[in-house]
């Protein structure tokens, strides 16, 4: 009860679910759910930089690159090819 964010009601609800759980996997998931707000950052994630989430804005270079890719993917007009085989 001394942990931040834990209330007696949450612990009681978790205990009731634990006693009804059939497997240890379910019990583990319930405990992790109870302690969800307390877990820290994984060691492998500590050095990573967060990319700012500013909507879906792209830089001008990214927009130009995407446009060039789309132009390359467009198929050429092949209307005259069909007439060659008629």
pLDDT in tens, 21-64: 989 999 999 988 888 877 666 777 666 666 665 555 667 777 77
pLDDT, average across residues 55-76: 69
pTM: 0.44
In a domain, 29, yes or no: yes
**Does the residue 12 lie in any domain?**
yes
User: Does 47 fall in a domain?
Assistant: no
| Domain assignment present for 59 | no
Give the total number of structural domains in the chain: 1
Where in the sequence is the domain holding 31, given as residue range(s)?
A: 1-39
Helix ranges (DSSP H) in 8-86 = 8-20, 24-34, 60-73, 79-84
Category of 58 on φ-ψ map: left (φ > 0), alpha (ψ -120 to 50) or beta? beta
20 falls within a domain: yes
Between the alpha carbon of residue 23 and those of residues 14, 26, 29, 40, the distances in Å are 15, 5, 10, 26
- Whole-angstrom CA distances from 85 to 35, 36, 71, 79, 80 are 71, 68, 28, 11, 10
């Amino acid at each position: 009860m001394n942990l931040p964010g834990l209330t007696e009601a949450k612990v009681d609800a978790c205990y009731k679910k634990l006693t009804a759980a059939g497997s240890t996997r379910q019990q583990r998931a319930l405990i992790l759910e109870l302690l969800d707000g307390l877990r820290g950052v994984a060691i492998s994630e500590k050095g990573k930089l967060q990319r700012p989430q500013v909507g879906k804005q792209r830089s001008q270079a990214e927009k130009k690159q995407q446009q060039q890719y789309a132009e390359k993917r467009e198929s050429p007009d092949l209307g005259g090819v069909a007439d060659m085989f008629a």
